[in-house]
Amino acid sequence: MRVNRSFGYLLGMDNLTNPSIDNDALSEIIQEGLPPEFDDPNYSFTSDKTPFGLDDLHLDDRFQGLFQEITTSILQYFSNMAFQKAEYYISKAWATYTKQKQFIATHKHVASHYSFVYYVQADEEIHSPITFYEPAQGLRVPESKIWNADNYRSLKIKPKTGLFIMFPSHVEHGTEEMAETDVARISISGDIVITAEGGHKTEYLLPSPSTWRKLNGPVTH
């Protein structure tokens, strides 16, 4: 796991090459799951969107080889952070399929601490990069006359098969429109939630899910 400090936060990148990951097989599984009625000319297909609601790939046996390697990279990333008495959970994971003329609109993830993307099928020569944008400041700063490594406000990373990227969920990101190509870019994204260890009491972290109590019954208005 290579860690790059950009915009004052840590961005993690890794190349997952373990033979347990069969990207061709994963690509076929994802493409077989594409709904025939979905054919938006602009936006990428993401399996977590309504009405499809498929956001639990991390629990799907067919993806376990991949998620074992993803877990290793995630834990290595957090070992560099040296958080105390914390537990880490993948809360959801979904597939994204992007073909020519489509793009992923700039967005951020609001129900997690960290997020990730793994490229099942991607070519840095023909597929548009993912772009991360510097979080907005409280006060506006002037535009720079010349952009350089010290003052840039966005970071582009070219995708390639096997590339795994981790980033804080609040960082806005998106992709540009795909070029004219018959080869789709296929990726798997996910969200990570951090909680306190079981038995550890703190007011600053979500408590361990083992201490949560589900409220059953009707909600009246």
In a domain, 26, yes or no: yes
Domain containing 150 equals: 2-211
Q: CATH number for the domain including 82? A: 2.60.120.620
Residue 201 located in a structural domain: yes
CA–CA gap between residue 40 and residue 182 (Å, rounded)? 16
The total domain count for the chain is 1
* Sequence-ordered alpha helix ranges (H) in 82-184: none
For residue 13, is it within any domain? Answer: yes
Provide CB contacts within 8 A for 132, sequence distance 6+.
6, 7, 11, 154, 155, 157, 167, 171, 172, 173
H-run or E-run covering 3: strand 2-6
Q: 65 pairs with which residues across the strands? A: none
**Residue pLDDT, tens place only, 56-103:** 999 999 999 999 999 999 998 888 777 888 999 999 999 988 877 777
- Token output for 41: 């000319």
Extract the residue ranges of the chain whose pLDDT is less than 70.
1-10, 36-44, 48-53, 137, 147-152, 221
**Can you give the pLDDT at residue 20?**
84
Q: Which residue(s) pair with 189 in the sheet?
A: 94, 117
Q: Report the pLDDT value the prediction gives residue 93, as an integer from 0 to 100.
A: 95
Contact 128, 204 (CB under 8 A): no
| Residue 219 domain flag | no
Q: What is the pLDDT of residue 60?
A: 93
Which DSSP category does 107 fall into?
Answer: B
Asked if residue 107 belongs to a domain, the reply is yes
Residue 221 lies in a domain: no
Is residue 217 one of the residues assigned to a domain? no
- pTM (predicted TM-score): 0.86
